[in-house]
Structure 1
Amino acid sequence: MLNATPESAAERVYREVKGQILTNEIAGGELISEGDVASRCAVSRTPVREAFLRLEAEGWMRLYPKRGALVIPIGEREARDVVEARTLLEGHAVRSVVGDDAVRGSLTARLAANLVAHRAADPADIAEFSRLDAEFHQLIVAAGDNPLLADFFVGLGERHRRMTTASVHRDTGVAARILSDHGELLAAIEAGDAEAFATALGAHLAGVHDIRSGERS
């Protein structure tokens, strides 16, 4: 129950609904109503309306007066753009660290710890599984020591998480593939092989997110 001021209630509704979108509890294409969300969160419609407007401004939903809010599905173009951006950012980061033994060693230690935690996580807990997946890739970009690129990558993190949860929902075998692929990516970084990393990353992202080769639509 959200016993709070209208401002904090709106923030909490925003975080709850957005979290459900990112973890695919509210799927793309689903129409949700202010009334249903207000009832579930035990608040009036005013903070729900404020939260919906914020989510619409961020591109997560489209509002239809007197009908509700449509959660915008992940489009093929969006998926391709996110994968392309991630490929560029992660590849750049790895190329910048492979020649520095100390930085590379520190990164591989953090990635190994993440992978241990990821393997121990229950794939059925999609929120935690997708969080650890996003963290693995964020650690790589952060190691590149370019704050502007790292901040941009964090901005992609929510779309990354949503795509991952959608993929895990679509195919139960995706979770095992993610863990296997992360092991391969870690091995490439440990070996200081930026080209092997780039190849493995491309295969990983295309396979996990079902990105097929071809022209953009």
Structure 2
Amino acid sequence: MPLAEISKLKRAPAEHIYVKSKSECLPGMRDKIQESLLKHLKEAGNRFVWLRGSPGTGKTAISMSVASTLKKQGVLAASFFWDKNQAGKGLDSIELFPSTLACQLASFNEDFKLSLVRRLRQPDLVFVQDLPLETQINTLMIEPMRDIWSSGKDRIVIILDGLDECGDQERLGALMELVLAFEELPPIFSILVSCRPEPGVISAWDKAWERVMTYNVKIWTRL
């Protein structure tokens, strides 16, 4: 059964429905920003949309609301909400990031699931989660997507919230390198990144601006 191979992947309870103990945002402000974010995410030229703000200003509440809306529309492919207060669940680190998203994508799309399973059945990928995280992103996400989702009526969205809660600055820098690998996703994908403007995040976007000119990553919403 296809699910047997996927069930062996370790994953974190990172979807928006599991989020706990996060600050709220006034409904009026949340709805206004959500409407703007949804508009940007659905525009073909936008690969990354960055929702930035200080701690406690409601970024996660907005991301959760956007995720819920996109889920109802059937276009939320995956989400990962970090939480430094939930140690031991994989929400305060980056180790389970690739496998968690891969499992969610497999649930979202049957073609991706079958493509992922074919790769997991390769003998040299028995211990895929022991490989470097960069290799895992490529093996578990990028490669299985080749020739999948090349086009479609609606854009598909991945939401990443609270990246600054993944650990220290070194880990945050490493995480942003993994996020930038999503440039290799099919054009139909948009990624909402919600976090504080930490140096590691800003420097990563700087590198993306220098390297990629085909979509606009410089969309900031100040809270």
TM-score (ref. length: structure 2): 0.24
TM-score (ref. length: structure 1): 0.24
Higher CA-based Rg:
1
Greater share of strand residues, 1 or 2?
2
Greater share of helix residues, 1 or 2?
1
